Structure 1
Amino acid sequence: MNRKSPVYLNALRAFEASARHGSFSGAAEELNVTAAAVGQMVRGLEEWLGMPLFNRSTTGKARLTLTQNAERALPDIRVGLDRLGMGLNRLRESATGGILNVTVSPAFAAKWLLPRIDRFQMRCPDTDIRLETSLKLIDYKAHGIDVGVRYGDGTWPGLVSEKLMEEEIFPVCSPSFADASSLAEPADLTRTTLIHDLSVDPAIGFVTWDMWLRSAGVREGQAQRGMRIDNSAAVLQAAIEGRGVALARSILARDDVAAGRLRRLFPEVQVTSKLAYYVVYRAEYSSLAKLRTFRDWLIEEATASQA
């Protein structure tokens, strides 16, 4: 190996991502840089190698295609980048301090994680949490994520998932809204303002108002009107402010119900979600000491909160 050769790690990452996405723009979104920056890194790599890596189309075709030489070399480059990442991970395995990159949804961060995170930081004062909140299913490898909490059915290709918490779905509103409304039975909900949570796709089993009302014995087609919000924490906040009745997720609403900011309606109707919260991480990170410590802490907190 020529150890005097310049190191083009960023350029290699840009090349690999561009090849995988078939465009500089797709690679740019993954790497969190501009498409122009990706193009510049790839051109710099081509100049150093003295050969093109992509066929530049003159017909306006948007998708990049690899040259024959690049196509032959790409598998080895991918293996090399993966092995480099594994080597760096091994260097980090014994470290309990440093930075732990965590991803969760904005609602889970606001309603569950952040109110408890001080207890983790007291336990591990040398570990700094870098929190990324997103509703999107972030690519852990591309974004440098160590561990996350995801809501779903527990199946995410390429990732290890461990069930953290199951939850129940039930209607809630502010005490003042409940006292001012005539909500004697579930059917009365069809005549009041309902707050709809759009943050999770019903196609994967997320409980909607129509589904909950059917479980409560109310006929279909009566829950279409009302306020629609794409953030579960904002859904609960709207209910706290007396905007209507929200369909709450028990994990996110527990503290507000316990504090009296929200009142649960019709507790005799019990609807359990098919979805749950999972601790999710890459298999090659499973021996990372600070990841294991954070995972164990999450499980302890989840067990205590549901006791």
Structure 2
Amino acid sequence: MRRLPPLSAVRVFEAAARLENFTAAAAELGMTQAAVSYQVRALEDRVGAPLFTREKGRARLTPLGMRLLVPLSQALDTIAAAFATTRAEDEGLLTVATTNTFANAWLAWRLGAFQVDHPDLAVRVTSGNRRADLAAGEADVAIRSGFGEWPGLETHLLMPIDFTPMASPRFIQQVTERLGRSLVPEDLPSLPLISPDDHWWECWLGEAGVRYEAAPARGGIRLDYQADIGHAAMAGQGLALLSPLMWRNDLAEGRLVRLFEQVSDEGQGYWLAYPAERRSVPKIKRFREWLLGELAG
């Protein structure tokens, strides 16, 4: 166990020795002259000998004070450098924690634009189902799904989590050719559904007036993430429930087709979240403004 003197006293001693003046040291440190004198006396009591000889308007180091000044100044420089490096690294790296779906289906396609606008700021994206502990510093910001109510966090709604059936053009063509007509909601329960036990199917079909039970024995591919579900749909594996805004590029470029105008939701959304006390941190402010602007556009 280290037997260290109070670091506050060491800091005061170094400033007074460097400036050779208690009043100037007090001004530099934002303290009173009496507080400087108290800290110096505390350090002198610890070493058992005077560190300064007081003269009018000047404080000269004693031989012991001179021996202590160099190593203590170097130690304070080392501490300052360590924190400066940490601060520079923190200011130059933004860590974003999000879901696999948001990362793969939306963020990864657009993050390059943020990097072009902010070349001095590196961005690291971590994705997964585990919720990052923002208070513990596991990430600077998070993009989460839910209702936006997380204690201690400031949140901004990015987009609603809504859903509607989609499929590849080829899949729809094959089905409609077999039926000899366009699809209607009543056809869906008998068609290949991706993740047919997802409660979203019951919700969407129920709002469309179609009775549906997501029985475990029902056939179909089961996938955990909307990103994987969307790619399976594009590969012609069946019908998928997907969020239109999340897949707008694939819809615009014809890789996916919406079957119906009806869109359902359960009141949830994707939210940008970060500790409320960090709202003014420059890198968080820059990312927030870019992300909200990107979605508004």
TM over 0.5: yes
Counterparts of 1:259 and 1:280 in 2: how far apart (Å)? 31
Q: Gaps (5+ residues) in structure 1?
A: 6-87
Give ranges in structure 2 of 5+ residues lacking alignment: 7-82, 177-181
Alignment of 1:175-190 (within 5 A): 175-182=169-176, 184-190=183-189
RMSD: 2.7
SS of structure 2 residue aligned to 1:261: coil
Q: Taking structure 1 as reference, are residues 96 and 140 closer, same or farther at Cα in structure 2, changes over 3 Å only?
A: closer
In our comparison, the structure showing a higher alpha carbon Rg is 2
Equivalent residue, structure 2, for 1:196: 195
Does 2:292 match 1:299? yes
Partner of 1:123: 117
Q: 2:232 aligns with which of 235, 238, 243?
A: 238
Is the aligned partner of 1:112 residue 2:111?
Answer: no
Q: What TM-score does the superposition give when structure 1 sets the normalisation length?
A: 0.63
Tell me the residue number matched to 2:212: 220
Q: Which residue of 2 aligns with 1:281?
A: 274
Query: In structure 2, what is the Cα distance between the partners aligned to 1:298 and 1:229?
Result: 28
The offset of 1:177, in angstroms, is 0.2
Q: How big is the shift at 1:168?
A: 2.9
The TM-score, its normalising length taken from structure 2, stands at 0.65
For 1:146, the equivalent position in structure 2 comes to: 140
Partners of 1:151 and 1:122 in 2: how far apart? 27
Retained in 2: the 8 A contact 1:197–1:247? no
Q: Secondary structure at the match of 2:106?
A: helix
1:196 is paired with a residue whose SS is: coil
Post-superposition CA distance 1:58-88 (Å, at most 9, x none): xxxxxxxxxxxxxxxxxxxxxxxxxxxxxx7
Cα separation, 2, equivalents of 1:197 and 1:271: 16
Show the counterpart of 2:242.
Answer: 248
d(CA) in 1 for partners of 2:294, 2:266: 20
Distance 2:90 2:248 in 1: 31
Give the Cα separation in 2 of the matches to 1:190 and 1:112.
29
Residue 183 of structure 2 aligns with an amino acid whose one-letter code is A
Give 3-state SS (helix, strand or coil) of 1:142's partner: coil
* Aligned match of 1:72: none
* Contact 1:209–1:223 (8 Å) recurs in 2: no
190 and 223 in structure 1: CA distance in 2 versus 1, 3 angstrom threshold: farther
- What is the number of equivalent residue pairs in this alignment? 212
Per the alignment, residue 14 of structure 1 pairs with: none
2:256 maps to amino acid: L
Aligned partner (choices 150, 155, 158) of residue 149 of structure 2: 155
CA contact (8 A) 1:103 1:149 kept: yes
1:262 matches 2:262: no
Q: Which residue of 2 aligns with 1:166?
A: 160
Moved over 4 A (4+): 94-97
Contact 2:204/2:263 (<8 A) preserved = no
TM-superposed deviation, 1:223: 6.9
